[in-house]
Amino acid sequence: MIDYDARAWLPILLQVRGSVVPRHLLRIAIAAAIGVVAVLLLEHRGVKIPTLAHTLVGVALGLLLVFRTNASYDRYWEGRRLIGLIVNRSRDLARQVAAYLDDAEARAAFRRLIPAFYWLAAQGLRRRTELGPAEHLLTAEQRSALDGVTFRAPLATRWMTELLRGEAGAGRLGEQRLMLLDANLTSFNDSLGGAERILKTPIPFAYAQHIKLFVVLFCFTAPFAMAEIMGWATPVASGLLALALFGVDEIGVEIEDPFGDDPNDLPLDAIGEGIEAAVGELLR
């Protein structure tokens, strides 16, 4: 994720990293070239398209693009909310462990396993198979137990549950406090399940295809409707139109999966480092 000052117009305007413009420069160039062809055909053959059709289609296309962007941003914000809930529950669980568990070994295990759960969840949401930052938090036995396991993060919650059961069995943790601690572990799995729902439920293909089809048709035929009015300004206007419409669609594609490594995705690494630091301080 890119940190920026929203009031700094020029740096934002000139920054390439995070921009979707480079991805559709070819489409912009094609639209501009079609604009040149449209002007030449108008001058030499009298070829043109009535503007009414594009006016009517443009309104419908604008509504579709707005809905597409809103749907993608809803997925992005819901992903951030679920990751934020894991952050909150991690701090709260660390607080409870610090207050309720006196056994130093159990506290040390939670100090490792709480951030390990997050890192394993983040790796799973990024579709990575390596342990990544979780590796140094796990024992050799735990790393071995993860071999061949598809859903690794829930295994970390199981290990924490077993620790709590051991503390309760030893008489060092009462039933009521056990239930409070276990509620945070349940919240971990609920949040992860919500994030996986976003990851595994893309925007329906028919909807994505329909928008792309109409954006292409609109942008590549609009020059023939512009040529009579705009003359040799048509190629520039066609390029700007393509920049706007293809850009809006590309932004929707960029943010619909918020858990990846794109510049506009959620800062999962920074969030994980924050969890590890906060839990470490609470259970120091």
pLDDT at residue number 115: 97
Residue 121 confidence class, pLDDT cut points 50, 70, 90: very high
- As given in the structure block, the two tokens for residue 59 are 């309104």
Taking residues 158-173, report their average pLDDT: 93
Distance, in Å, from the CA atom of 258 to the CA atom of 37, rounded to the nearest integer, reads 40
Do 195 and 116 fall within a single domain?
Answer: yes
Q: How many residues does the chain have?
A: 284
Contacts of 166 (CB under 8 A, 6+ apart): 106
Do 111 and 157 fall within a single domain?
Answer: yes
| DSSP per position, 54-82 | HHHHHHHHHHHHHHHHHHHHHHHHHHHHH
DSSP helix, strand, coil percent of the chain (3-state; round to 5): 80, 0, 20
Question: Does residue 17 lie in a domain region?
Answer: no
Distance, in Å, from the CA atom of 279 to the CA atom of 281, rounded to the nearest integer, reads 5
Question: Does residue 197 lie in a domain region?
Answer: yes
| Cα 149 versus chain centre, distance | 24
Question: Does residue 5 lie in a domain region?
Answer: no
Question: Does residue 35 lie in a domain region?
Answer: yes
Domain count, the chain: 2
pLDDT at residue number 20: 85
Do 29 and 117 fall within a single domain?
Answer: no
Question: Does residue 183 lie in a domain region?
Answer: yes
pLDDT at residue number 68: 87
Do 238 and 215 fall within a single domain?
Answer: yes
Averaged pLDDT score across all residues of the chain: 91
Contacts of 263 (CB under 8 A, 6+ apart): 1, 2, 17, 18
Residue 76 pLDDT > 80, yes or no? yes
Residue 11 confidence class, pLDDT cut points 50, 70, 90: confident
Residue 271 confidence class, pLDDT cut points 50, 70, 90: very high
**How far from 120 is each of 51, 142, 257, CA to CA, in Å?**
55, 12, 18
User: Which residue in this structure is represented by tokens 């289609």?
Assistant: 57
**How far from 123 is each of 14, 43, 120, 254, CA to CA, in Å?**
32, 58, 5, 19
Do 278 and 147 fall within a single domain?
Answer: yes
- As given in the structure block, the two tokens for residue 216 are 């292409």
Do 215 and 188 fall within a single domain?
Answer: no
Do 118 and 55 fall within a single domain?
Answer: no
Structural domain harbouring 146: 90-201+267-282
pLDDT at residue number 7: 80
Q: At what angle do helices 51-100 and 104-125 cross, to 10 degrees?
A: 170
| Cα 186 versus chain centre, distance | 23
- As given in the structure block, the two tokens for residue 34 are 């079609």
Question: Does residue 11 lie in a domain region?
Answer: no
Q: What is the pLDDT of residues 171-222, one digit of tens each?
A: 898 999 999 999 999 999 999 999 999 999 988 898 889 899 999 999 999 9
Residue 9 confidence class, pLDDT cut points 50, 70, 90: confident
Do 163 and 244 fall within a single domain?
Answer: no
Question: Does residue 12 lie in a domain region?
Answer: no
Residue 6 pLDDT > 80, yes or no? no
pLDDT at residue number 14: 80
Residue 54 confidence class, pLDDT cut points 50, 70, 90: confident
Lowest mean pLDDT among 2-6, 113-117, 244-248: 2-6
Is residue 50 helix, strand or coil? coil
How buried is 227 (Cβ within 10 angstroms: 0-12 exposed, 13-18 middle, 19+ buried)?
Answer: buried
pLDDT at residue number 218: 92
Do 216 and 160 fall within a single domain?
Answer: no
Do 139 and 214 fall within a single domain?
Answer: no
Do 64 and 108 fall within a single domain?
Answer: no
Is residue 155 helix, strand or coil? helix
Distance, in Å, from the CA atom of 268 to the CA atom of 1, rounded to the nearest integer, reads 9
Question: Does residue 15 lie in a domain region?
Answer: no
Query: Taking CA 218 as the corner, what is the angle to CA 13 and CA 243, rounded to the nearest 5 degrees?
Result: 10
How buried is 1 (Cβ within 10 angstroms: 0-12 exposed, 13-18 middle, 19+ buried)?
Answer: middle
Do 194 and 239 fall within a single domain?
Answer: no
Nearest CA to 41 out of 258, 236, 224 is that of: 224
Contacts of 107 (CB under 8 A, 6+ apart): 97, 98, 101, 283
